[in-house]
Structure 1
Amino acid sequence: MSTEIGLQEHRIVVGLDYGTTYSGSAHGDTSQNSVDNIKVIRRWPGKERRDEVKCPSDIAYGADGTYRWGYLIPPGLARMAWAKLDLDEDSFYENQDNEDYVDLQESSTETLESVEDEFPMVEGMRHNPLNKSPVDMVADYLTALYDVIMSNLRRAQGEIFINRTAIDWVMTVPAVWSEKAQSLTKEAASRAGIGQRDKDRLFLLSEPEAAAVYAVSELYQRDNTRRNNPNMLNVGDTFVLCDAGGGTVDLISYRVGQLQPSLGLSEVAVGSGAKCGSTFVDRNLLKLVRRKIGDERFEILCQKQNGMVLNKMVSEFEGLKRSLGPGYLPDSVSYLPMPGFANDTAAGIIEGQFELTHGELKGCFHPIIEQIIELIQGQVDAICGIGSIPKYVFLVGGFGESDYLMSRLSAHNFGTAGRIEIISPDDAWSAVSRGAVLRGLEGSLVTNRRCRRNYGTRINTIFDPTIHHEEDAFYSTDTGMKMARNQVSWIVEKGVDTDSNTKFQLKCGTTFQKDEKLRRGATLVASDLDIAPHSYRDKSVHDLCFLMADLSMVPESEFDLVNINGQTCLSAQFTIEMAFESAEIKFQLYFKGSCYGQVKTTFH
């Protein structure tokens, strides 16, 4: 069976957008691959209204092991929120301390722990009474989500038809997700039953790539009046896609390769991103409240009605976030519920409410939006560096629907590029799941991607005093030559073009005894620096994964005979091929031109 998305046989394609704060799903049919024929799930357990395109990504466990999820969790009940971020323990972002706001740049685990320490009420939002692992919790949530998706499909198309029809599941992940996080996401989805039926398949796709496919396709397929507009995207034009969600903000820049007969895009800059989604605006509100009312009252507020009072405040704040825009009056004042506290105008407590000025409201947004602008500027600079000017910035995701974010970006001058038109397509919140379906229906619309980091292996090499350190020097017992250990041979460098058809090779050689089953391992290392270092000792270099090559099924007669110290042994030269897809790396084992399947991969 092909590992590429898209086959000639009739299939259903389900796009699955598991997010930090909200999750959604859409589906389509290979017989109809236009934007208009994609259906978004709007029926969620526990939700009376049936027009919500997403469901909360929270899960709440009982002492007996049962759990509630999404809209079924009652207000104030302790739950596990932001579990998605726990899948990515690694940090690819520089720390930037800010005494006034929660640090946005720490690794996910450190960020969540710091928030829990800072805000006791968050403990009720990070409740894990059964001490489950991140993969276990995500698998539980995805199991419930999978059941709802399948129920919706059976209701719409009939149980017999669904049972007989293969489904391609296209699950999206952040573009800057670590390889380990990608692997854990896929493991959790598989545990949930996703892609596990006979003939069903599971693929990973980067969130901004899915959003880009939807944004451009939606623009061309729905808006006929713009097709002949000279300001419309044309072949050769570049644009930035910014996917601003609840937890992460991801960006990738593209060049339009073709528009007919189908859309074709290529990446023109290495993708970037950070954990600076809309939830960090909420956390800045908590920081503000604590600073104004003091630690003692804030602790009381956190404990009132088991956190329900503060949860209500944060819920009301969600409405304020959405209402903030160009028409919001500068001298306006908003109020959030804070019952049970005596009036204290200096602390902003008035008649059981917390006073929030226009300046304070914008202050909660300010550092987050500044960081998003900086991320977009980085992509714009990269495009300008290759002699192009981006025509648009497409803004999608839940946070991408913010009028205030939209207005700030529209008014910003991006240096050489000046002001850039910001487009927020229809259904921006569901753009990722819709784009995932389009990707599954039409195949890969992105012809080239830029590698996001350097990949290589540790080696010993001939000592060079201009490069190597004496502490790594040793003399070879075979040749007597001075050698350097702890060096790295880079197989793939950051920024190079990659696609699923381009193979990068890790060549390996080994000797072994007769009657010995040939299994050998190699450690793949990585670095995020633009210029890869020579030494494994460099702080940027880290072990990525352990690759286990199994050639035990190859007959001994296929190996070469060698003499080592008077003893006859066997010798094998084999290759591990790396292929980069949208959101994962595929490793396959080759020996004498024949493929021996995928290589077992264990991420560090």
Structure 2
Amino acid sequence: MGDSLRHFVIGVDFGTTFSSVSVLAQRTRAAKVDPDKIISISNYPSSTVEYSQAPKEVPTESWYPRRLPQRPSLNRSADEYDEDSSEESSDSDVSIKSESSYESVSDEESESDSSDGSTESGSTESDDSTVANTVDYMDEDNGAIDRYYWGYTVSQKLSEPDISMELSRRIARSKLLLDLSEHTRYIRQLLKNTVNDLCRGKLVRDETDVIADYLAHLFLHTKSQMSVAYQYNEACPVEFVLTVPAMWTERARRIMQNAMTRALRDSGFIRGIRYDIDNLFIVTEPEAAATYVLATTDEILPNDCFILLDAGGGTVDAITYKVRKLRPLRLEREEVEPAGALCGSSYLNEAFERVISERLKKETYLERDNVKIEGIVNDLVQQFETKHKRHIDIYSRLLESEHFFIQGLLPSQGKKFRHNRLYLDQEDLKDIFKPCLEGVSNLMFSQMEQARAKGVTVKKVILIGGFAASPSLVSHLQRRLERYHRMNSKKVELIRATVPGCAVAHGAILRALEKEDGPERRLRSSYGLLRTEPYQPDIVRAHIGKYPWTDPLDGSKYIKNTIEWIVNKGDLLPSGTRIIRPVTHTFPVSPDEPFLCKEVFYVSDKHHDSNYRRNHPKNKGATEEGHIIVDMSYLKKDPSFKPVVPGPGEKGQPHYLVEYDLVIIVDGRNLRFVAHPQGQDGAIKGERRISIAAAFQPGTD
């Protein structure tokens, strides 16, 4: 690498209502950096100066067009190459042998894997990408451009009173698809209904696409800004750091990891379908935020117990931590159940919308030239979001009424209308803000009370998240904590991050630079291979009572579609671990049939016993994670490679026996699958790299 190349660390905070990306560019990698050297990506499409300065967060919203170019199949099922559909083809089975060649393998897949990760034609990461925005269509109803919108472009469209875009194709709060909390159940179901509608319209293939499409646009914009600010090019090494909620499951983290991989392919950060995101580092949002606060203040001390209050746009979460070590910062969770509530800043918008909708519902004279009351309300909500709510402090003695321009609005004293203007007075604003503010403080005090009951003394509350920038929220919490101090003689300090909306993404970078002394590399997921095993009921318990399949080529009996779990949940998995599995495949003697072999990988968040079929109850929860295509056709040109001919009285028919070693290599937070001819480590005939970052506790190096 030349001296002119920069190394980039990119922190990604995918939020419920707003997301942010932070970037650190270094010519020489250093573990210690000034937080001021980290920049926030800004200049988002359709963002304006109405946001007081170039916004450093972007709405986590998207809007799908009525049609999109067809996407490639996910090809996630192994059923396409199973030869039987009976119970024999149960849940999982790779093998030291495979049943035959695979006619379904495409030309692109069958090419010998290169080691440089170059782009393949027909793959999902071509230069033009499959990002859901590359084609504009004209809406037949109103002549508007119908395309994929994201971020502020959605807000811009919502602010057009005559827009007739269908809300059924709008996605908001998509992060909650991965949140299994009880308090998000209702919103999660609404989201799933929308995703199902998009799937039926062939706009997305699954919920991962919804997240990946948004991230792809976010990363394309990030790449563009990096190119302008730092002359980024594809030769520059990039490390990605993903922040996740502390309570997410392994499955949720894995879906997010897969969405990241799809998005990075579509945005050109990853070149090649054989390669997932390289050594992704995952850290929890609270730890990232605390790392940033520690780097910018001296108010956190060893053994401090504090509540991390993450006040975002949708959910507000409260988690109690103790500082185990200061430098590098390492936290440990106290035995207090984390809690969350739907009282984030976006619910201020909903409360505002209810108030003005009620006042305007009978002002039908405003509807003209395709402008509807609903469109006027949407426009006012966007004005409230961008121009008003961020500076309102309902506790300020200087609090004034807010007014909103509506062309043609007639005066009404009872509704607080004047010519062309709707007014919200101090009481209106308090009615809009108070429920959310009380929700946040109630959550905070509930966490404090649980901590007290466990014998934990909380001395600080660290406030982060986009809502933390609200003067009303800060004033409200300070007032409540002061009253708590007066009533209980216990002082609890409120600490607010200097850039609350970007603290998580900034802190993610700082945490990634100090990976030492993190959690041990203990797996929270299991990884296995699909096998076809020799039928051995006297030796293998899982084979007892199972009906074997007879290979017509070699005449031997096998149990198809079993899973051999190579590494299991709970295992310690040091980087550098190598696991070798000999593999055999049989092929008929045919001059035209290539020796294409397919090995399939499975993942599960449970601990499993090996040798059971893929669909066996003992493999419940196992899902396909990927595959590798191994092209051994070069053997056809080897004069010493001869068909196997059954001897007199032996079953079977002449066939080729193809053998190679499948080497599984633990490379940091990657798992590499490499196929070598037996005894020839240097000759790679197939390669695949998958990310296993989500299988470790966040913060694991």
Correspondence 1:370-449 to 2 at 5 A:
370-412=438-480, 413-414=483-484, 418-443=490-515
**What's the CA shift for 1:378?**
2.8
Question: What are the residue-to-residue correspondences of 1:76-225 with 2, within 5 Å?
Answer: 76=160, 78=165, 80-85=170-175, 87-88=177-178, 90-93=180-183, 106-110=185-189, 132=204, 133-160=206-233, 162-165=234-237, 167-177=238-248, 179-193=250-264, 196-197=270-271, 200-220=278-298
Letter of the structure 1 residue corresponding to residue 259 of structure 2: A
3-state SS of 1:429 partner: coil
Q: Secondary structure at the match of 1:163?
A: coil
- 1:405 partner amino acid: L
Task: Indicate if the aligned counterparts of 1:15 and 1:171 stay in contact, CA closer than 8 A.
Answer: yes
CA distance in 1, matches of 2:264, 2:543: 40
Q: Is the 8 A contact 1:59 1:70 kept in 2?
A: yes
CA distance in 1, matches of 2:435, 2:41: 34
Aligned to 1:243: 310
Conserved in 1, the CA contact under 8 Å of 2:411 and 2:417? yes
Conservation of the 8 A alpha-carbon contact between 2:174 and 2:210: no
Report what 2:543 is aligned to: 512
Task: Answer yes or no: is the 8 Å Cα contact 2:62–2:172 preserved in 1.
Answer: no
Kept after mapping to 2: 8 A contact 1:339/1:352:
yes
Is the contact between residue 410 and residue 419 of structure 1 (CA under 8 Å) also seen in structure 2?
Answer: no
User: What residue in structure 1 maps to residue 338 of structure 2?
Assistant: 271
Q: Within 2, Cα distance between the matches of 1:178 and 1:355?
A: 46
2:15 counterpart letter in structure 1? G
Deviation, structure 1 residue 408:
0.9
State the TM-score, normalized to the length of structure 1.
Answer: 0.63
Aligned to 1:101: none
Partner of 2:149: 68
Q: Which residue of 1 aligns with 2:55?
A: 52
Distance in 1, Cα, partners of 2:472 & 2:38: 29
C-alpha distance after superposition, 1:75-120 (max 9, x if no partner): 4254724142452374422xxxxxxxxxxx6532356699x9xxxx
State the identity as a percent: 25
- Where structure 2 has 5 or more consecutive residues not aligned to the other structure, the ranges are 1-5, 69-132, 134-147, 529-539, 545-556, 566-602, 607-617, 626-668, 672-689, 696-701
CA offsets 1:532-558 (integer angstroms, 9 cap, x no match) = xxxxxxxxxxx99703699xxxxxxxx
CA contact (8 A) 1:251 1:376 kept: yes
- Alignment equivalent of 1:281, drawn from 339, 342, 348: 348
The structure that is strand-richer by fraction is: 1
Once the two structures are TM-superposed, the CA of residue 282 in structure 1 deviates from its matched residue by: 0.8
Shift of residue 438 of structure 1? 1.2
Does structure 2 retain, via aligned residues, the 8 Å contact 1:411–1:419? no
**CA pair 520-288 structure 1, distance change in 2 beyond 3 A:** farther
Q: What amino acid is the match of 2:187?
A: S
Change (3 A) 1:289 1:598: closer
Equivalent position of 1:546 in the other structure:
621
Per the alignment, do residues 429 and 207 of structure 1 end up closer, same or farther by CA in structure 2, a change over 3 Å counting? same
Specify whether residues 439 and 350 from structure 1 end up closer, same or farther in structure 2 by C-alpha distance, changes over 3 A only: same
Structure 2: distance between partners of 1:598 and 1:437 = 19
Please state whether the residue corresponding to 1:213 is helix, strand or coil.
helix
Instruction: Verify the 8 A CA contact 1:208 1:251 in the aligned structure 2.
Output: no
Instruction: Give distance in 1, aligned partners of 2:55 and 2:286.
Output: 22
Q: Aligned AA for 1:60?
A: W
Counterpart mapping for 1:194-593 below 5 A: 196-197=270-271, 200-220=278-298, 232-260=299-327, 262-268=328-334, 269-294=336-361, 304=371, 307-318=374-385, 319-325=387-393, 328-329=396-397, 332-412=400-480, 413-414=483-484, 418-443=490-515, 499-501=519-521, 511-512=542-543, 515-517=558-560, 518-519=562-563, 546-547=621-622
Query: What is the total number of aligned residue pairs between the two structures?
Result: 452
| 2: CA distance, partners of 1:128 / 1:416 | 57
Distance 1:419 1:365, change over 3 A: farther
Q: What is the distance in 2 between the residues matched to 1:549 and 1:61?
A: 28
Cα distance change, pair 338–155 in 1 and its aligned pair in 2 (3 A)? closer
Distance 1:298 1:137, change over 3 A: farther
Q: Which runs of 5+ in 1 are unaligned?
A: 1-9, 94-104, 117-125, 221-231, 448-498, 526-542, 551-583, 587-596
RMSD (Å) for aligned C-alpha atoms: 4.6
Correspondence 1:43 to 2:114:
no
Q: Which amino acid aligns with 2:542?
A: T
| Rounded Cα–Cα distance in structure 2 between residues aligned with 1:360 and 1:71 | 27
Residue identity opposite 2:288 in structure 1: A
- 1:358/1:440 CA distance change after superposition, 3 Å: same
Deviation of 1:400 after TM superposition, in Å, equals 0.6
Query: Aligned-pair distance for 1:371?
Result: 1.7
AA aligned to 1:109 is: R
* Secondary structure of 2:320 counterpart: strand
Whether the 8 Å contact between 1:384 and 1:417 is mirrored in structure 2 is no
Superposed CA deviations along residues 557-585 of structure 1, whole A, max 9, x for unmatched, are: xxxxxxxxxxxxxxxxxxxxxxxxxxx9x
Q: Deviations over 1:113-154 (max 9, x none)?
A: 99x9xxxxxxxxx99986545432322221111112222333
Does the CA contact (< 8 Å) of 2:62 and 2:214 recur in 1? yes
Q: Secondary structure at the match of 2:475?
A: helix
Task: Name the structure 2 match of 1:556.
Answer: none
Counterpart amino acid of residue 282 in structure 1:
N
Residue type matched to 1:519 in 2? I
Distance 1:259 1:86, change over 3 A: closer
Report the AA paired with residue 145 of structure 1: L
> CA–CA distance in 2 between the matches of 1:158 and 1:523?
41
TM-score by length of 2: 0.55
Q: State the secondary structure of the residue aligned to 1:273.
A: strand
Given that residues 170 and 440 in structure 1 are in contact (C-alpha distance below 8 angstroms), is that contact kept between their aligned partners in structure 2? Answer: yes
Q: In 2 relative to 1, CA 323–505 (structure 1 residues): closer, same or farther, beyond 3 Å?
A: closer
Q: Report if aligned partners of 1:58, 1:70 keep a CA contact under 8 Å in 2.
A: yes
- The answer for the alignment partner of 2:660 in structure 1 is none
Aligned to 2:301, the other structure's residue is in SS state: coil
Query: Do the aligned partners of 1:238 and 1:390 also contact (CA within 8 Å) in 2?
Result: yes
Give, as a single letter, the amino acid of the residue that structure 1 aligns with 2:58. C
Residues 1:358 and 1:146: Cα distance change in structure 2 (over 3 Å): same
Distance 1:546 1:294, change over 3 A: same
Q: Which residue identity lines up with residue 235 of structure 2 in the other structure?
A: N
C-alpha deviation, 1:444, in angstroms: 6.5
In the superposition, relative to structure 1, how do residues 207 and 356 fare at CA in structure 2: closer, same or farther (>3 Å)? same
Task: Give the SS at the match of 1:345.
Answer: coil
Q: What displacement does 1:354 show?
A: 2.3
After TM superposition, give the deviation of residue 16 of structure 1 in Å.
Answer: 0.9
Deviation at 1:70, TM superposition (A): 2.6
Q: In structure 2, the residue corresponding to 1:546 is in which secondary structure?
A: coil
- C-alpha distance in 2, partners of 1:373/1:111? 27
What is the rounded CA distance, in whole Å, between the counterparts of 2:398 and 2:619 in structure 1? 50
SS in 1 for 2:424: strand
Of structures 1 and 2, the one scoring higher in RCO (CA 8 A, sep 6+) is 2
CA–CA separation in structure 1 for the residues paired with 2:362 and 2:619: 42
Aligned residue for 2:10, secondary structure, equals strand
Q: Contact conserved, 2:468 with 2:496, CA < 8 A, in 1?
A: yes
8 Å Cα contact 1:13/1:170 also seen in 2? yes
**Stretch of structure 1 that moved more, 434-443 or 321-330:** 321-330
Task: Decide whether aligned partners of structure 1 residues 171 and 544 sit closer, same or farther in structure 2, where only a CA change above 3 A counts.
Answer: farther
8 Å Cα contact 1:139/1:192 also seen in 2: yes
